[in-house]
Structure formats: C-alpha cells, structure tokens
A and B are shown apart, each in its own frame.
Chain A
C-alpha cells in the first residue's frame, strides 16, 4: 500500500526559504501525478500546484498565490516530490500536504502533512 510522508516543515523567518519533501513508499511513484496543498490554521484547503508524471513531461502548474515563489519537482529514483518555497510570508503559515492524483485531478491519497510557521 502506498503511503506519503511529508517532512521539512518548521519555523522560518519571513523572506527566508524552505524545502519540503514528500516521500512515497511503494514502487510505482513514477506513475503518479503529484500535487501540493496547504491548510492555514482553522481554515480550508488550498491547492498550491501539481507536477505530472514523466509520461506527461513532468509539467508543473501553480496557484496564483504562490507562482514565482514556490517550485514543485520530483525525483522518481527516490520516490520523492519536493516543494521549494522562497520569499516566505507570514500568510504562508499552514499545514502543507502532498497528495497523489487519481486518473484525473481528484486526490486519492494524502500525506499527514507538515506544519510550516513563518514568523519573526
């Protein structure tokens, strides 16, 4: 059974950078499209962006709120997806989740999330 585990969260000052990782167990990670989401404390879910699998060129797309600051990548040899975040703002404080896409862009497996706190 595939599982997703996020890591790399923590406390970071505004303007700094942070890289999150999403590690998948199982041997078929390369077949999946992956997406990242966040959930601010007490708030709803926000889609951040996705990366397709290699068959679709590893294409990325982002929400307007993070475009130019966040970058999603993947290393299929390690079964990891990354979320590189730069120029962090206090409003980026949230639990960050990675999720695996189903046949289309619904998300059938989520990690447990990692908390990112942006504060001086």
Chain B
C-alpha cells in the first residue's frame, strides 16, 4: 500500500497569511505514460463531508477559490493557501489514486492564529 504522510499535523496561521501543507507518498504517484501525478487534495470543514479542492496534483476543481493551489511531483506535494480566510478553517487531506487501495494522509488541521 502507498502510505501518505502529511506535515504538519496541525497549523495555525494568521488571517491573510500563507498556509502550506505538505504531503509525502511512500512511492511515486507519477504515472509515466501520461506524466500525471495521481494526487488529490480535499478540505473537510467541521461536521461536513470532504470537498475536492485539487486533482492531478495541481488542477483546481471548478468553483474552488484561486487562493488554493497545489504543486509537487513524484513523492512530494504541497497545498498552499495564499491568503488565509476565516472560512478556510478545516482539516485538509491528500489522497493518492495511483493504485488501490486509495489512501489518504492523516490530515492537517488548519486553524486561525
């Protein structure tokens, strides 16, 4: 199984500041035949279901604010929120869909400082 490890486990950032969450996979999730990284990011607000933010490591889902961006390749990935808003308080998960079982990171809890 591919193990996904996020860092940090929790993060407190001031409003308007940048938030950065890291995700590392135990093996590459870059598929050589199409040069795509099979990596997605989700946001889960308290009491709600997960919401897709980013797929293919850097493609923003329709309707997601452009302050959210994804980067990285191979085994190391980053979710960046360029200017934190109060509504961004949530737990963020990365997920690999390179192969089954599809696995998630343990989550990063983002709070306002």
- Give the B-binding residues of A (Cβ under 8 A): 35, 44-47, 61, 63-64, 97, 99, 102, 104-113
Contacts and interface: CB of A to CB of B under 8 A. Distances in A.
B101 A108 contact: no
B101 A63 contact: yes
Contact of B55 (A45, A106, A110): A106
A111 B49 contact: yes
Contacts of A45: 42, 44, 50, 93, 95, 104, 107
Contacts of B93: 44-45
Interface in B60-113: 61, 93, 95, 97, 100-107
Contacts of B38: 104-105
A7 B48 CA distance: 16
Contacts of B61: 108
A44 B50 CA distance: 11
- Give chain B's interface secondary structure class: loop
Contacts of A99: 50
Nearest to B97: A105
Given A97-B50, A106-B55, 16 more contacts: A35-B102, A44-B107, A45-B50, A47-B102, A64-B101, A104-B55, A106-B56, A106-B97, A107-B40, A107-B42, A107-B52, A107-B95, A108-B55, A108-B61, A110-B50, A110-B51
Nearest to A47: B102
A61 to B, nearest CB: 6
B45 to A, nearest CB: 12
Interface string B5-40: 000000000000000000000000000000000101
10 contacts: A44-B106, A45-B42, A45-B95, A97-B49, A106-B55, A107-B40, A107-B50, A107-B95, A108-B55, A111-B49
Contacts of B49: 97, 110-113
Contacts of A105: 38, 97, 102
A113 B50 CA distance: 10
Nearest to B103: A47
